[in-house]
Amino acid sequence: MNHYAVWGNPIAQSKSPRIHALFGQQTGKAISYVAKLGDEQQFENQLQQFFAEGAKGANITAPFKERAFALADLHSESCLQAEACNTLKRLEDGRLYADNTDGVGLVSDLARLGWLTPKQRVLILGAGGATKGVLYPLLQAGQQITVYNRTVEKAVALAEKFAKFGSIQTACMAEISEQSFDLIINATSLGLQGKYVELPQQVLAQAKVYDMQYAPNMRTPFLNYARSQGAIMCQDGLGMLVGQAAYAFKLWEDTLPEIEPVLRLLTAEMEIVT
Ligand code: ATR
């Protein structure tokens, strides 16, 4: 049996053990997958110990994605561009291979929704790790990207770094109000504080709205706000979460599980009946 874990801090809230248990059942692969609390001081030692004991792979979540990236011996292209790792695989020779499946998780979820039109205009809110993790796959998928961030320099730095992969620019709020977008993606961490970036009403109301965060009944602070401003097509990031997990599972077990049935089950398990 192959052993896996997700490492983070905090980690108790993680849905990854549930998702991978469902993937194992669905594909008939006997795996074990547990949640592990990473230690701020000892994370690298913990991970090395975990692999020394024979584990085949790990998922990495906040706040350790950059440290896992630094620890790995080999990196996929999307991982190199994200400069952060959410999936590690131990190779036959013992070296650690790092991937980042967050971006492909997002892109596959947009495709599932029918929201991945070529050359569409995409506004991404935020220029932190969540944004950096998905820009390369979004540009590979031909999306025309505008990044907005409170701290303008961070958005500019990302646009410069990723310009060689496609169409990417930055905008301030005044510029955003004069444009329209097909898709708006919230990649800020503001929702964790119950807050959101305010946008011009007409910009929000005309776009498809995707929040990388998720909540029961899709009631994230940003999606609640978007609906209040007239947005009709709103989706949270639960499909992205299941998608990134599916591509990690594929890297480890050579089988891409079906995302939809697992997403349906998780959605139902989280649902609050009112
Ligand atoms: P993550 O890895 O989740 O992306 P991060 O790297 O800390 O976390 O990035 C958080 C993002 O949310 C950043 O874009 C941040 O904007 P700044 O770069 O200006 O800090 C954004 N964010 C967090 N708190 C915010 C706030 N109160 N108002 C606006 N943006 C905020």
Atom of ligand 1 nearest to the CA of 65: 2
Q: What is the pLDDT of residue 269?
A: 96
- DSSP state for residue 57 in the 8-state scheme: E
Strands 234-235 and 2-8, bridge-based pairing: unpaired
Q: What is the pLDDT of residue 142?
A: 98
Beta-bridge mates of residue 6: 35, 59
Cα separation values, 267 from 113, 241, 246, Å? 15, 12, 16
Tokens in use for 131?
């944004």
Rounded distance, CA 250 to CA 74, Å? 18
Q: What is the pLDDT of residue 274?
A: 76
CA 149 to centroid of ligand 1, rounded, Å: 8
CB 104 within 8 A of CB 82: no
Q: For a substitution probing ligand 1, which of 86, 135, 149 has the most ligand atoms within 8 Å of its CB?
A: 149
- Cα–Cα nearest to 246, from 94, 108, 82, 140: 108
CB 66 within 8 A of CB 88: no
Catalytic residue among 15, 36, 56, 65: 65
Tokens in use for 71?
């620890």
pLDDT means per 10 residues, the chain with 274 residues, are: 98 97 98 98 98 98 98 98 98 98 98 97 98 98 98 98 98 98 98 97 98 98 98 98 98 98 97 85
Strands 2-8 and 57-60, bridge-based pairing: parallel
Query: What's the pTM?
Result: 0.97
